[in-house]
Chain A
Amino acid sequence: MKIPLLCLLFVSALAAAGAAEQKVVVAMMPKAKGNAYFISCKAGADIAAKELGAELLFDGPVDTNAAKQNEIVENWITLGVDVIAVAAENKESLSTALRKAQRQGIKVIAFDSDAAPDARSFFVNQATPEGIANTLADEAARLTGGEGEIAIITATLTASNQREWLKRIEPRLAEKYPRMKVVAVRPSDDLKDRAQSEATALMSAYPDLKLIMAICTPGVPGAAEAVKQAGKAGKVKVMGLGLPNENRRYVKEGVTDCVILWNTGDLGYLTAYTAVKLVTGELKPGATSFKAGSLGEKRVVGDNVLLGEPFIFTRDNSDRFNF
């Protein structure tokens, strides 16, 4: 293969001449770009790109789709971007494409959900699946007093992040809170309306239900609306993963008890920052910390750049978040 060789030659020649005047091109791929979670990621990344004078491409499937992610990465490879940042829908399938990118001299990092470790240089880690699952389980236990029936609403039965979390929530509950029981797991197709119907059915099928946990962002407002319409606000607790703006109304009304979230804007900012600094050589493998613009000093553990702890969004702090 001559191309990588030529590519290397060019890179070294250019580096020697110091002629790299064009902007660094950062290509960032969410799992689903219509998802509010990733929309606010992009807003953060845009700020970082502006500060650093980089160009940001932000594209991904409209709804989670491993095959489309592959195709987009392959497009970027032939487009010759400088660095690719991905939130991998499926580790296995995307990593093949990412390794190909690395062979062509493109830097690769992952954010939100990791790719295979050898297919990327860094992972911008907002939380491990364990972290999310444990926080969800612990909050559920806090709200229910550690006992009773709970139901879970997911995006689709096949979405991989949902599986990761589910797989960890149930053992955590069994181990720490044996008197809590997951009675049903229902899909919502990432549709708020469907989540509402499912929550309504769950409440009537399980009259002793104490809590509905939605682990996809459209699910939380959907479940909350159902609980509100059933007049069971307070009796059936609602919690889940979501964004402040979609849930503020219900949190203020006391229907939704808590929403767990990351500062997704910061996640996007940190990802874009890491990406650019990796290209310019200011962040090298083996570093233990690096300065990420307005976020200040961030810890690097191994090849994980850590964002920090999740927020728990409740009635008391609902006005502090605007995203």
Chain B
Amino acid sequence: MKRPTTGAAPGWRRIVFRYETLLVVLLVIEWLVFYRFGTSTNRRGIVVGFGTMERQFDILRHSCEIGLLALALTPVILTAGIDLSVASVLGFCAVVFGRLWHDAGLPVWCAAGATLLAGAAAGGVNALFIARFRLPPLIVTLGTYSLFRGLAEALTRGAVTYTDFPVGFLFLGQERWLGLPTQAWVFLVVALFIWTLVHRRMTGRVFRVIGFSPEGARYAGLAVGRTTALAYVMAGAIAALAALIYTARLGQAKADAAVGYELFAITAVVLGGTSIFGGRGTVPGTLLGIAVIAVLKNGLAALPAVIRLNAAEESAGLLTGMLLLVALALGAAPKLLSARRPRTPLPENLPIPKSP
């Protein structure tokens, strides 16, 4: 559970002591436990529960939207920012999509394209305040969190639910393509894109530099404003994509789409080892964070004890919260041991100034 502090450690140690390795181990343990205790044969003689293929596909399908939001948040958090508005943008985009397709009569794929632009524009509002005016992301996105959800409600007067989408569009959310749920492919493409951006491009390095020190990045001549803006605009566009998938999965677009998803997404990113202070984090970590949460949530719902309690959702929430605390505490342990004493010792001969 120690992170390598120097590059001098032998290669195997660098792999074994990586945070991601811990997550993989955790994921495997989770999976095995649920497979062992959550699978059974019902009275019709069919294997049911966690061990079925169907169930594994369900996990994939149910975690795609939160997964996309978590991917969108990874670059944002790398820049030491935060975006509380992603789920509200998702709701807003779902409504925009419904309106464009149903009320404005656009063909479904045009409406989808326009929705992606709307999402990017919504992200652009965040970007304007955060990157251009340099206001704190927490406050700005707290404002847009209300604003976009409110616009979604105002646009539909809370009442309109758009349904009856064409079968071709629903394919995106309800069917399989090449063996996997369709949206899983979309998710993989986005994951690959973000991974490339964060780990294989200069932009990824700039994200991290901004996260460590925006002033430093500015002095180094990096495009701080533009790169920060990119992270938020991208988050908006990905939230719009998630809105399309959400709409296709449920077959309905409504102003309350994905209420509360931002918390799960942030949890996944942080559980994945990304530092909320910015600068440190990986995309594979985020992916593992999502997987750990998704398997936990779905697996618990297959355990007989939890089923009898009728409390799958609560126990999943409870365990996710505690898991996050444990992960944080474990992550802090080595740092705490080494940093027990303050870095600059207080000057011993000088009297401590008394506060007036």
Is A65 a contact of B46 with CB atoms below 8 Å? no
B215 close to chain A: CB less than 8 A: no
Is A80 a contact of B161 with CB atoms below 8 Å? no
Q: A96-B251, A157-B157 are in contact. Are A80 and B259 (CB under 8 A)?
A: no
Is B302 a contact of A78 with CB atoms below 8 Å? yes
Is A62 a contact of B255 with CB atoms below 8 Å? no
* CB nearest neighbor in A for B91: A158
Distance from A153 Cβ to chain B, minimum over Cβ atoms (Å): 14
CA of A209 to CA of B15, assembled, Å: 71
CA of A280 to CA of B317, assembled, Å: 36
Sample of 10 further A-B pairs with CB below 8 A, known A33-B310, A75-B55, A79-B302: A10-B44, A59-B307, A74-B58, A80-B48, A90-B161, A90-B250, A92-B252, A158-B254, A158-B256, A163-B159
Is A156 a contact of B44 with CB atoms below 8 Å? no
CB contact list, B254-285 vs A, under 8 A? 254-259
Q: Chain A binding site: helix, strand, loop or mixed by DSSP?
A: helix
Distance from A62 Cβ to chain B, minimum over Cβ atoms (Å): 6
- Identify which of B44, B250, B252 contacts A80 (C-beta below 8 A): B44
CA of A164 to CA of B310, assembled, Å: 29
B238 close to chain A: CB less than 8 A: no
CB contact list, A93-112 vs B, under 8 A? 93, 96, 105
Chain B, interface residues (CB within 8 Å), range: 35 or more
Number of interface residues of A (CB under 8 A): 44
Is A65 a contact of B259 with CB atoms below 8 Å? yes
CA of A25 to CA of B255, assembled, Å: 35
Residues of B within 8 A of A67 (CB): 246, 249-250, 257-258
Is B157 a contact of A71 with CB atoms below 8 Å? no
* CB nearest neighbor in A for B165: A92
Q: A58-B310, A157-B159 are in contact. Are A105 and B44 (CB under 8 A)?
A: yes
- Identify which of B159, B161, B256 contacts A92 (C-beta below 8 A): B161
Q: A7-B46, A78-B302, A156-B158 are in contact. Are A62 and B313 (CB under 8 A)?
A: yes
CA of A79 to CA of B52, assembled, Å: 9
Residues of B within 8 A of A158 (CB): 153, 156, 158-159, 254-256
* CB nearest neighbor in A for B163: A92
Is B310 a contact of A79 with CB atoms below 8 Å? no
Residues of B within 8 A of A254 (CB): none
* CB nearest neighbor in B for A167: B159
Residues of A within 8 A of B43 (CB): 14, 20-22, 82
CB contact list, A54-97 vs B, under 8 A? 57-59, 61-62, 65-68, 70-72, 74-75, 77-80, 82, 90, 92-93, 96
Residues of A within 8 A of B246 (CB): 67
A201 close to chain B: CB less than 8 A: no
Residues of A within 8 A of B252 (CB): 66, 90, 92-93
Residues of B within 8 A of A167 (CB): 159
- Identify which of A6, A22, A25, A92 contacts B251 (C-beta below 8 A): A92
- Identify which of A75, A105, A157, A187 contacts B312 (C-beta below 8 A): A75
Residues of B within 8 A of A80 (CB): 42, 44, 46, 48-49
